[in-house]
């Protein structure tokens, strides 16, 4: 399980990195598909920065933290971090839908990744996957 979570964190880092590239891009965005899908509009909006830090940088840092916690099998801590990240991502999705009226494909991918991470870690914690006394052969 931990390697699946690490791979998902890496996908999240990639999506956040692409969003960060869009944040600093000055030419036309390659993911400007139509009037409803435009990463450039989303990543250049006032909502793409929190206290001077691009949201994509926060995403990269968050996914790095989740990847490290997965490697350490710190699933309870990972669950807390993942649920916080999911709440933040859902907040940003609400802004895309209700305020901007435009979606960023990288942000949607990130929302999918953090949703999947949250569900998997929640399942792992609820099933009792944090018990190390079962032996390393049982650990995922």
- On whether residue 75 sits in a domain, the answer given is yes
Domain-embedded: residue 139 = no
What tens digit of pLDDT does each residue of 14-65 get?
Answer: 999 999 998 888 777 777 778 788 888 888 889 999 999 999 999 999 999 9
Rounded distance, CA 59 to CA 49, Å? 11
Q: Is residue 140 situated within a structural domain?
A: no
**Is position 136 within any domain?**
no
* Position 137 in a domain: no
Query: Measured between alpha carbons, how far is 37 from 21 in angstroms, rounded to an integer?
Result: 16
Q: Is 88 exposed, middle or buried (0-12, 13-18, 19+ CB in 10 A)?
A: middle
Q: Tell me, what CATH number does 14's domain have?
A: 1.20.1440.130
When divided into structural domains, the chain yields a total of 1
This prediction has a pTM of 0.86
**39 found inside a domain:** yes
Model confidence pLDDT, tens digit, residues 61-98: 999 999 999 999 999 999 999 999 999 999 999 999 99
E strands present in the chain: 49-50, 53-54
Query: Residue 11 is part of which domain span?
Result: 2-130
């Amino acid at each position: 399980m931990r390697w699946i979570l690490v791979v998902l964190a890496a996908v999240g880092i990639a999506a956040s990195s692409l969003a960060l590239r869009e944040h600093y891009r000055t030419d036309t965005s390659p993911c400007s598909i139509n009037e409803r899908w435009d990463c450039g509009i989303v990543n250049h909006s006032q909502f793409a920065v929190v206290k001077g830090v691009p949201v994509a940088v926060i995403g990269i840092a968050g996914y790095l933290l989740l990847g490290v916690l997965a490697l350490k099998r710190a699933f309870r801590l990972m669950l807390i971090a993942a649920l916080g990240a999911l709440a933040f991502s859902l907040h940003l999705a609400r802004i895309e839908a209700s305020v901007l009226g435009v979606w960023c494909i990288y942000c949607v991918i990130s929302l999918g990744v953090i949703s999947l991470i949250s569900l998997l870690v929640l399942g792992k914690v609820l099933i009792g996957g944090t018990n190390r006394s079962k032996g390393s052969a049982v650990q995922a």
